[in-house]
Structure 1
Amino acid sequence: MTFDAVLFDRDGTLIRDVPYNGDPRLVEPLPGARELLDRLRTTGVRTGVVSNQSGIGRGLLSRTQVDAVNARVEALLGRFGTWQVCPHHPEDGCPCRKPEPGLVLAACAALGVAPERTAVVGDIEADVRAALAAGAHPIMVPTPVTRPEEVDRAPTVAADLHEVLALVTDNGVRTGGAKP
């Protein structure tokens, strides 16, 4: 299978996770992020970001600060076709906050792609569950904060972003609980 789009979680997936970051100067791309995105873009695969930003709902960040961080991400990693951000507090019960499918579905609509032809790359189970709920293909890239049981439950796991590139460009995602 080939993908029309690949959606990414922001923190811990594309950039180093700085909790509730509102400072663009702290944005640091993770190894392989630029190469992966450049390769996808040159092959015509659409890209987007789907990110929970509960710091807004918690009153720790403003939307302006989140937008400034996102602008810095684009300055370092290139332009994305869509940014879908959930600003809600985890207890708000909104349909967009991952693991709900709202962000993934909104990103697919904005990019004009079907969820079933979309991969979603993230570092925690909420990313995986959002992808599955939307009908997309999840790829987990664990970090030191990813719980082992989340990795065990993920249908597809990549060791790093370099492996993600192989998964999404080498005849699509290998399924069946592939683990690094």
Structure 2
Amino acid sequence: MKLVILDRDGTINEDSDDYIKSADEWVPLPGALEAIARLNHAGWHVVVASNQSGVGRGLFDMSALNAMHGKMHRLLAAVGGRIEAIFFCPHAPEEQCQCRKPEPGLFVQIGERFGVDLHTVPVVGDTSRDLVAGAAVGCEPHLVLTGKGEAYRGRQLPDSFPAHTVVHEDLSGFVDYLLTRDQPTT
């Protein structure tokens, strides 16, 4: 199975320091949904792994989170894309759970659910915690310079990022990279 694991806020949709709290606030980044559709059309299965501590902090409830994800699924379907599953951590940081990135719990759940070894599975996110969580189970780290990743534009990545992190302009740039690399050589 060809699998890609994506962060949500700042990777697929706009991020906010005040949290994305409703479907109205959930706005896809330019080209992100089309990038996911391109992955799907090339035979890749896409899964989301996302910290959603706004639930644990009481900023929004599960029905609001479900409405955000429903909007994402509808907009993706309109461009021919699909996300297979969404794994999220609803806990506040002080709960010290194992599913809140940078802990690898969500990734362990993904591996178990899909019955795959996550070594070399690409993980794409806009923060070091997204990539550290994936790298802990062997995922291949990819940073996008959208969302919080914009802070690293033109800079060397700090040591908080996993070694061999590949940097891309945005999700579309990652997909270009992956699909070009994935092509058989003649």
Give me the TM-score of the superposition, normalised by structure 2: 0.83
Q: Which stretches of structure 1, 4 residues or more, deviate above 4 A after TM superposition?
A: none
Separation in structure 2 between the aligned mates of residue 94 and residue 117 of structure 1, nearest angstrom: 25
Q: What code does the residue aligned with 2:131 have? A: V
Displacement of 1:152 in angstroms is 4.1
Displacement of 1:159 in angstroms is 1.2
Q: Secondary structure at the match of 1:30?
A: coil
The alpha-carbon distance between structure 1 residues 95 and 65, as it changes in their structure 2 partners (threshold 3 A), is: same
Displacement of 1:61 in angstroms is 1.3
The alpha-carbon distance between structure 1 residues 39 and 145, as it changes in their structure 2 partners (threshold 3 A), is: closer
1:151 aligns with 2:157: yes
How high is the sequence identity, in percent, across the aligned residues?
Answer: 36
1:38 aligns with 2:48: no
Residue of structure 2 in register with 1:90 after alignment: 93
Aligned pairs for 1:126-145 (under 5 A) are: 126-143=129-146, 145=148
Displacement of 1:124 in angstroms is 0.5
Displacement of 1:21 in angstroms is 2.2
Which ranges of structure 1 fall in alignment gaps of 5 or more residues?
A: 173-180
Q: Is the 8 A contact 1:122 1:139 kept in 2?
A: yes
Q: Is the 8 A contact 2:22 2:64 kept in 1?
A: yes
After alignment, is 105-114 or 74-83 more displaced? 105-114
Residue of structure 2 in register with 1:73 after alignment: 72
Separation in structure 2 between the aligned mates of residue 80 and residue 166 of structure 1, nearest angstrom: 18
| Number of equivalences | 170
CA RMSD of aligned residues (A): 2.0
